Structure 1
Amino acid sequence: MLKRLQRAGWTCPQCASHQSKVTRRCLVTTSNAKGSGAAAAKAVGEEYQPVTKAAPGIAHDDRTLRQIFDSPHTWKEFSTKAKHRYGGKSAGLFQNRYLTRPDGFQDFAAVTLVKCKRIVEKVLGYRSVGELRRVARDLDRLSDLLCRVIDLSDFVRSVHPDRKVQAAASQAYSSMFEYMNVLNTTTGLNDQLKRAAAIPEIYDSWSEEERTVAAILIKDFSKSAIDLEETDRQAFVNISNEIAEVGNAFVENMEAATPSLQFESSRMKGMDPMFVRQMTRWGSVALPTIGMPAIMAMRSVEDPETRREIYMANRASSRVSLQRLEQLLKRRAEIAKLGGYESYAHMTLTDKMAQSPEAVTSFLDALAKENAPRAKEELRELLELKSGDARAGNFPAEINAWDRDYYTSQVMSSMRSKTRAPDFLSAYFSLGTVMQGLSRLFHRLYGIRLVPRETLPGETWNSDVRRLDVIDDQEGHIAVIYCDLFERPGKSPNPAHFTLRCSRKISEEEMQEAAELSSQTGAIFNTAQEAANDGLATNFSPRDGHALYQLPTIALICDFALAPASSDRPTLLTVRELTTLFHEMGHALHSICGRTALQNVSGTRCATDFAELPSVLMENFASAPEVLALYARHWETDAPLDCDRIRERVDVEKRMQGAEIEGQVLLGMLDQVYHSSRPLKWKEGGTGAESTTLYHDIWRQYSAVPEPAGTSWQGFFGHLYGYGATYYSYLFDRAISGKIWRDVFQRSQGGAIDPRSGERFREEVLRHGGGRDGWQCVGGVLGRDELKAGGREAMEEVGRWGVHS
C-alpha cells in the first residue's frame, strides 16, 4: 500500500506478563526554486558548517545536555530565550508552518492533497520509457506526502493536551486516510508500477532503493487485493473491515470466565497484608482473577491449593473472548485464501526475513532446543526449593503450573536480598547524565552527537518537551529528536518511538512546485527549501552530491517521574527505565542513520522481524562497563559507579531467563499455528474449543511444565491481533543482536565503544534502513556470507545461537 503504517509500539513481553507507525514573510518566487543545487548547497554551507571532534562547542553542548534534563531552572532559562527572540509568535508544531493554529491541519491536508493528485495524474499518464522510469520515485513521494499528514496527525491527536488541536488533527488524519484507501484500490497505479518493473531497460537503471520500493509497493498492492475481480475485491474489503472490528473488540474487551474469586483471608497468607486488607470485606477476600492482584497472589500465597484456584481462573478466558478470537483467526485465514495464499502466515511473511511459516517454526524449534538445558536447570532448582517446603498435598516431586511463579519469586527475592537496594543504583542514573552518556556513546561509535536546540514558540505540545538536533561530524545536521520524557496527568505510561517524518531526497522539481504552490496559496515560507518540507528541518547530504534531504524527525515518549519541586534532586532512573531509554534510543538511531533517498525504506521502515534489532542491541550498552564509565556518576558527589554493582543487578534480572525464553517460544509457536490454514475448518460461532485444543497441543509439545486441563489463556493473548504471524520477531532479533554484541562489539580490541565496531554496524546495518535485505545486513556485519541468502537454514542457524547477551 502507498502508506506503509508505522509499527505499533512494541510492548515488551516481560512487561505484558509491555508494541510495533508544518512562515510567512516574503513570497517564494519560481526563480529562487530553480537555483542550482550546488549554489544552494554553498548557501547552506555558510550557515551550517559540519562540526568536527575538535570543535570547541562540543564540551559546551555536552554540559548543556545534562543540565537541561537535570535542572528545571536551567531548562526554563534555556527554553525562554527563543520566546523572547521571536516575540511569542507561533512557529507551528515541529516548525510546520501550517500548524500555527488548529485550523491549519485542514490547510496542511488540503495542500498535501493537491500535491498528491498531481502525482497520481502524472503517473497514470506515463507512456514512454523515460516517463515510466520515474514511477517508483513518484509513488514513493506520494507515500511520503500521505505519511507527512497521517503520521504527524496521528501522533498529535494522541499527545496534544488541547482538545481543539486533537480534533483538528483527527480530522486531517481521517481525510488523508480515506484518500489513501482510494489510492490503494486505484488499479492504474498498480498497473503502471508493474509495467515499469517489467521493462528491463527501466528495472536495470533503477537504484537498489528504487527496486526495493517497487517490490514493496507491488506486494502491498497485492495484499490489498487489487489484482482480484471486483466481486472478490469487495469481499476482501468487507472481510478486512470485519477483521479490524473484531480484532479491536477482542483486544479491548478481554475478560476471564470467572472475573473474581472469594477466599477467607487466612488463605492469602504470604501475600502483602496491606494489599490483602484492601480487598477484604467481613473476613472475605474478593480477588480479581486478572491483573496485578492475581499475579501478586500467584507469586506470594503460600497455600498451593489457593494458588491452583487462582491460576486456573487467571488462565481461563470467557466464552465471548474465545469466540471473538476464533472469528478473527477464521477471517484472517479466509482473506489469505481469497488473496491466493495458503494461510495468513504465508501472506504476512512473504516480505519478512523469515519468508515462510516453515522457516519460523525451524527457528523456534532450534531456539527451544538450545534453551532447553537452561530451562531444565532452572526447573531443577525450583524443584529443589519446593522439596524443602513440606506441605500437605504439595506434590513435592514435581513443579505444577501454579508453582512456577511462586518458587521463582523466592529465588529472585533471595538474590535481591544479597544486592543493594535499587535506589542505590538510581543515584548514578540521573536523566541528564544518561542523555549525556548516550550522546557520548553515539559520538564514539558513530561520530554523531545530541545537541540541545531552543524550541520556538508553538513548536512543541508541552513545555517539558526538549528538542535535540543530531549532528554528524562529517555531514552536519542529520536529524531532529523531540524528547517528551516526563510524567504528567493523562499521558500514556508506555514508552515509544515515533517517526514523524522520514528521510527522503527532495528534488529540484519539488522545489519548483513548492514555490509555485506557495505563491498561489499565500507566502507562509521564507524559501522554497522551507516550503518543500513544510518548514521542518532539511540539510544537504555530502553522501549524495550535496542533494537536499528532508531530515528524520523523531519523537521519544517516556513516563519518568519528576523529582519533588522542593528538592534539588533530578529525575533518577531505575535500571529498568535506563534499559528502556536505551532501547527506544536504538529505534531513534535506526531512523537517524537510515537516511535513504526514498522514504519507504527510511530508518525503521523495514521488515517487522528486523525492526527491533538496533533497539535490542542498544540494551546491551546500558550496562556495559566501558559505556557506564562515560556517564554513570552520582548526582550529588559526582563519584563514578562501581560497575560490579550493576552487573549484580543485571544478573538478577537474567536469573530465570530460560523460563522466559521458553514462554516466548510457546507464544511464537501458538501464533504460527493459529495463523495457519487450520481455522478455515472451524465452525462459525464456535465455543472456543478449537483454539483451546491447539493451545494445549502447543503447551504439551514445548512446555517443561504441564498446562492443566480447563485453561484457555489464548483469550488473553492480545498480541495475536497486532502481531499476527510475526510474534516470533522479538525473539529473533534478540538472538541476532546477542550474536552481533558478542562477535562485533565485545571481541573488538577497543571494547564496546570501539569506533571501528560502530562504523561497521552503521555501514552494514543502520545506514540502509529497510533498503537492503535484512539477511545481507546480518551477514555483512557478522562477516558471514553464507547467511546473506537467508531462507530456512539461516533461520535455523539463528535459533541455534540462542538468546544470550
Structure 2
Amino acid sequence: MLSSSIRRSSLPSQLGGWICSGCRSRSSSLASVVLRQRQQRQWAPPTNPSTYRFLTHSSQPIAPRQHIPPGARSDDHTLRSIFDSPEAWKSFSAVHTGVSIGLFRNAFLTTPDGFLTFARVSLKRARAIVDKVLEASTTEEYRAIVRHLDRLSDILCRVLDMADFVRVTHPWQQVQLQASNAWDLVYEYMNELNTMTGLNDQLCKAMGDPEVTKVWSEEEKSVAEVLRLDFSKSAVNLGEHHRRRFVELSSEISSVASQFVQDMAPEEPVLRLPSTWVRGMDPVTAQALTRGGKVHLETLGAEASMALRTVRDPDTRELIYRASRTASKRTVRLLEHLMKRRAELANISGFESYGHLALRDRMMAKSPEAVDRFLRALAGSVRPRAQQEVADILAEKRKFLPAATHLEPWDKDYYSNSIRHSERAVTREDDISCYFSLGVVMQGLSRLFSRLYGVRLRPAAPLRGETWHSDVRRLDVVSDTEGHIAVLYCDLFYRPGKSPNPAHFTLRCSREISEAEMAEVWKVSKEDADMPGFRGPESAANDGMHYQKLPNGSIKQLPTIALVCDFPQRVANSEEPALLSFYQLETLFHEMGHAIHSILARTSFQNVSGTRCATDLAELPSTLMEYFAADPSVLALFARHYATDEPLPYKLVVEKLRQARRFEATDTENQIIMAMLDQALHSPLAHQREFNSTQIYHDIQKQFSSFLPDPEGTSWQGFFGHLSGYGSAYYSYLFDRALAQRVWDVVFKSGADGGALERENGERLKENLLKWGGVRDPWKCLSGVLKDGRLAEGGEEAMALVGSWGTRSQV
C-alpha cells in the first residue's frame, strides 16, 4: 500500500502527498511547498487487474526465453535461498563484528539518540539554505534557487521519511520514541516556514526572469512549477489575517480528520440475537459468539460480514445489514464538520470548493468537472456487465424464492456467496500456493525486471546495525549498464506487533549532488561536533549512505526503499518454505510496482523523483504489475512446486481468477459510487447551511447503483475512512486501473505471444513513462507510451476517454 498510500510518497501524511493501502494529502502548512510526501501505499480498494483476455491462453506454462546477464546466475540462486531458508539467510547475513554502521547505513543513526542529532544537524543545513534563497540578488544566485529549494526539501525529507518509517515499523520502543521526537522537531521548523513569504517571492522573481530560466533544464522548470503551485495552494499570497486563519483551519482539519477515523463507530455496536436466528452461519463461529443464550455480533466485525453471506433468514440479514451500514450520529457530525472546514479552507484560498483546491496541483484531472466526466464514462462502460451480474444474483434468489421480483440490499452478499459456492472449483488455496514460495517469487520478480528493464535484484549482506530486524533482507538493484542504482530493504514476514498493512516506503529519493555541495558539507562536517566521522566529501553529503559517481564529477544519492508485508514465516522444523496465496502474490507484485517506479525514475531533483508524480498516476505502475502476476509466460519464469520442482499448471490460476472476479463489475460500480461521494462531499455542496451527507450518499446510490440503494435511516458514509486522507482523490485507483489495463493491452499485447516479457515493450514503458517521475507532463507520458495523440493535452475529453476504456479487457 503508497503506508498507502500513496499509495499510494515522500513525506508523512500530515504534510501532503500520496499515501498508498491506502493514503492522502493532509497538508496543513506551507511545508508542502518544499516537501513532498513519501509514496506510501496504505490500504486501497482491491485493484486486481480486470482482464479476462489472458484466460484464453493455453493452460500449460509457456517456456520463456532466457536472457541472463553475466554474473546473475549466482545472485538468482541466492535470492531464492535467502527467502526460502532462514538457515541460508542466517549464514549469508552473519553479523559483522565492529561498531554499528547505522540504520540504513546512515552514520547518524547508530543509536536511538542519533535521530535527534540527525534532526538538529539537518535543521542547521536547512536554515543556511533558506538564508541563501532569501539573500539571492544576482542572476547567478536566482538561477540556483530551484536547486536550493530542492536541496532544502531533500534535507528535511531525509529526516522525516526515515523517522516516520521507523516510528511505525521499528520493534524497539526507545527507537520509535526518538524517531518521533526527531519528526516533531523538524515538523516544528516547518511550521516556521508557514510564516515566510520570502521564499515564494524569490521563486516568483526567478521564474519571471528570462535570463534565469533560459539556463534551467526541463527538470528545473518542472520543480519550479511544482513549488510555485504548492506555495499558492498554501495561501502564501494571502494577507496576514487570512494566512493565520489558513494555518488555524489546517490544524483543525488535521485534528478533526484524525478524530473521524479514530472514533468511527456504529450507532449500534453489538447485536444480541437468538441463536436460531443465525442458522446457516458457521456453527463453530456462532458458538464462540454465544453468551447467555444469545449470539453477540459486533456490527463492524468480520463475523457480521460472514453472517450477511451465510445467514438464511432474510429478516436477520436485514437487521445486521442496517446496523452495519449505520454510523453513529457523532461520527456523521465529525465527517460533516471536516467537510465544512475543508470548504472554508478552499474559500479562503480563492477556490470554489475543496475539490477544486485539491485537484489543481499534482493531479492529472485538474478539476472536479474532469473527474466527473471520467466517472460517468466509466459507469456507463461497466453498467451492462453490472446489470448482468445483478440478473445472475436475482436468478439465484429465484431458485429458493420463485416469486421474487427484486433484490433487497441484504440479499446481495448472501446470494452472491451462494453462486460462488455452486461455481467453486475443487482447487484449494494450498494447491496453488505450493508453487509460490516467497523465494521463487522474488526470483521471478528479478527475472522479470531483468527482461523488461535490464535491472535485477542482488542479495547483499547488511552490516551491523543497518537493518531494524534480523528478518529484513537487503537487496541491491543492479543495472546491466549503470551498475548499482538502488537499495531495497525487504521486511516481508509477519511478527507480533508489526503492522499487517503491505506498504512501499521511499526512505530516500534520487537526487544529484554537485561537487560544490559536497565540498560545503565536508567543510562543515569537520567543524561541527555533532557530525559523525565521514570518509570523504561524497560520504558526508550522503550521511554515509550509498551513492553513485557520475561522469561530470557530481554524485547521485541512490533511491533507498523499504517494502513491508506480513507473509507467514516457514513453520519451525518444517522443510516447507514460506508459501504465498495468489492474493499475497498479487500484493507483492503490486508493491514491487511502486518500487520499480522509484528505482527507474532516478531524476536529478528529489521533488520529482520516483513516485513523486501526479497523484492520480502513482498507482499505475503498481496496478499494472498485477497483470504480470497473472500472466502465464511470467509465471513460467518462476512458479514451480517447492518440493517436486514441477511447473505451475496454469489452469489453477484461471480457476482462481474466475472465482475472485465473479462479481467484478458490481464491485467496480460500488467503487465508482464511493468516488462520486468523495467528489460530492468536497464540492460546493459543503458550503450549504443544510449540508446532509446521508442524503447526498443515498442520492448517488439511486443514480449509479444497479442494486437498490441503502434503506432510509442508514448512514454508511460515516464508515468511509478514506474521506479523511483522500480528500477528493479517491477516484485515482479506478483511474489507474483503467490506465493499467490499457497499457497492458496496447504495450504488452495482453500478454499474448510472450508480450509480457519483451524487452522492447519494457523499454517503451520505461522511456515514455517510468523514468520521468514527476518531471514530464503525465498526459504526454501516457500519450507517448500508448501512442495515442488524443491524450497529449489532457483535459475533460481525455478523462472521459480513459473512463470509456473501462477496467477490464473485453473477451
The reply to whether TM is greater than 0.5 is yes
Pick one of 736, 740, 758 that aligns with 2:739.
736
Question: Shift of the alpha carbon at 1:648?
Answer: 1.5
- 8 Å contact 2:783–2:791 — kept in the other structure? yes
Secondary structure of residue in 1 paired with 2:506: strand
Superposition map of 1:646-665 within 5 A: 646-665=653-672
Pick one of 769, 773, 779 that aligns with 2:777.
773
Question: Shift of the alpha carbon at 1:53?
Answer: 7.0
Secondary structure of residue in 2 paired with 1:739: helix
Alignment partner, residue 794 of structure 2? 790
Superposition map of 1:264-275 within 5 A: 264-275=274-285
Question: Shift of the alpha carbon at 1:204?
Answer: 3.0
Question: Shift of the alpha carbon at 1:546?
Answer: 6.5
The one-character-per-residue Cα deviations of 1:159-186 (angstroms, maximum 9, x if unpaired) are: 1122221111111111111112222431
The one-character-per-residue Cα deviations of 1:746-771 (angstroms, maximum 9, x if unpaired) are: 26764210000000001111100111
- 8 Å contact 2:501–2:566 — kept in the other structure? yes
Superposition map of 1:671-686 within 5 A: 671-682=678-689
Secondary structure of residue in 1 paired with 2:297: strand
Alignment partner, residue 6 of structure 1? 38
Secondary structure of residue in 2 paired with 1:633: coil
Superposition map of 1:500-579 within 5 A: 500-521=507-528, 524-541=533-550, 545=552, 547-579=554-586
Alignment partner, residue 714 of structure 1? 717
Alignment partner, residue 369 of structure 2? 358
The one-character-per-residue Cα deviations of 1:756-805 (angstroms, maximum 9, x if unpaired) are: 00000011111001111111111110001220100000000000000015
Give, as a single letter, the amino acid of the residue that structure 1 aligns with 2:775.
G
The one-character-per-residue Cα deviations of 1:228-260 (angstroms, maximum 9, x if unpaired) are: 111111111111111111110001111111112
Secondary structure of residue in 1 paired with 2:616: coil
The one-character-per-residue Cα deviations of 1:489-524 (angstroms, maximum 9, x if unpaired) are: 100000000000000001111110121022113561
Question: Shift of the alpha carbon at 1:690?
Answer: 0.9
CA distance in 2: counterparts of 1:321 and 1:206, whole angstroms:
50
Secondary structure of residue in 1 paired with 2:549: strand
- 8 Å contact 2:42–2:502 — kept in the other structure? no
Pick one of 683, 696, 699 that aligns with 1:697.
699
- 8 Å contact 1:103–1:168 — kept in the other structure? yes
Pick one of 152, 159, 168 that aligns with 2:162.
152
Question: Shift of the alpha carbon at 1:88?
Answer: 3.5
1:305 and 2:309 correspond: no
CA distance in 2: counterparts of 1:252 and 1:8, whole angstroms:
20
CA distance in 1: counterparts of 2:647 and 2:40, whole angstroms:
38
CA distance in 1: counterparts of 2:550 and 2:661, whole angstroms:
43
1:410 and 2:418 correspond: yes
1:799 and 2:810 correspond: no
Secondary structure of residue in 1 paired with 2:744: helix
CA distance in 1: counterparts of 2:397 and 2:550, whole angstroms:
63
The one-character-per-residue Cα deviations of 1:31-89 (angstroms, maximum 9, x if unpaired) are: xxxxxxxxxxxxxxxxxxxxx97754210000000000001111000010xx34xx242
Question: Shift of the alpha carbon at 1:608?
Answer: 1.2
CA distance in 2: counterparts of 1:612 and 1:675, whole angstroms:
22
Superposition map of 1:580-591 within 5 A: 580-591=587-598
1:58 and 2:72 correspond: yes
CA distance in 2: counterparts of 1:362 and 1:321, whole angstroms:
31
- 8 Å contact 2:47–2:733 — kept in the other structure? no
Alignment partner, residue 644 of structure 1? 651
**Paired residue total:** 755
Give, as a single letter, the amino acid of the residue that structure 2 aligns with 1:518.
S
CA distance in 2: counterparts of 1:134 and 1:15, whole angstroms:
42
In structure 2, the CA distance between the partners of 1:760 and 1:555, relative to structure 1 (3 Å rule), is: same
The one-character-per-residue Cα deviations of 1:525-563 (angstroms, maximum 9, x if unpaired) are: 112111111011101346xx5641000000000000112
Alignment partner, residue 67 of structure 1? 81
Alignment partner, residue 768 of structure 2? 764
Alignment partner, residue 723 of structure 1? 726
CA distance in 2: counterparts of 1:107 and 1:430, whole angstroms:
42
Secondary structure of residue in 2 paired with 1:240: helix
Question: Shift of the alpha carbon at 1:744?
Answer: 0.6
* Worse-superposed segment, 181-190 or 144-153: 181-190
Question: Shift of the alpha carbon at 1:282?
Answer: 3.4
Secondary structure of residue in 2 paired with 1:500: strand
Alignment partner, residue 107 of structure 1? 117
Alignment partner, residue 121 of structure 1? 131
* Worse-superposed segment, 120-129 or 716-725: 120-129
Alignment partner, residue 52 of structure 2? none
Alignment partner, residue 287 of structure 2? 277
CA distance in 1: counterparts of 2:772 and 2:759, whole angstroms:
19
Secondary structure of residue in 2 paired with 1:388: helix
Alignment partner, residue 398 of structure 1? 406
Secondary structure of residue in 2 paired with 1:316: coil
Q: TM-score, normalised by structure 2?
A: 0.91
CA distance in 2: counterparts of 1:211 and 1:185, whole angstroms:
25
CA distance in 2: counterparts of 1:666 and 1:134, whole angstroms:
47
CA distance in 2: counterparts of 1:751 and 1:801, whole angstroms:
21
Secondary structure of residue in 1 paired with 2:484: strand
Question: Shift of the alpha carbon at 1:342?
Answer: 0.4
1:440 and 2:451 correspond: no
Secondary structure of residue in 2 paired with 1:726: coil
CA distance in 1: counterparts of 2:36 and 2:545, whole angstroms:
21
Secondary structure of residue in 1 paired with 2:184: helix
The one-character-per-residue Cα deviations of 1:720-746 (angstroms, maximum 9, x if unpaired) are: 010010000000000000000011112
The one-character-per-residue Cα deviations of 1:641-700 (angstroms, maximum 9, x if unpaired) are: 0112112211211111001100000000000010001111136xxxxx711111111111
In structure 2, the CA distance between the partners of 1:667 and 1:110, relative to structure 1 (3 Å rule), is: same
Q: Percent identity?
A: 52
CA distance in 2: counterparts of 1:288 and 1:749, whole angstroms:
50
Give, as a single letter, the amino acid of the residue that structure 1 aligns with 2:483.
G
Structure 1 unmatched runs, 5+: 17-51, 684-688
Secondary structure of residue in 2 paired with 1:731: helix
Superposition map of 1:235-274 within 5 A: 235-274=245-284
- 8 Å contact 1:236–1:338 — kept in the other structure? yes
1:615 and 2:622 correspond: yes
CA distance in 2: counterparts of 1:185 and 1:407, whole angstroms:
58
CA distance in 2: counterparts of 1:729 and 1:140, whole angstroms:
27
Give me the CA root mean square deviation.
1.6
CA distance in 1: counterparts of 2:393 and 2:559, whole angstroms:
49
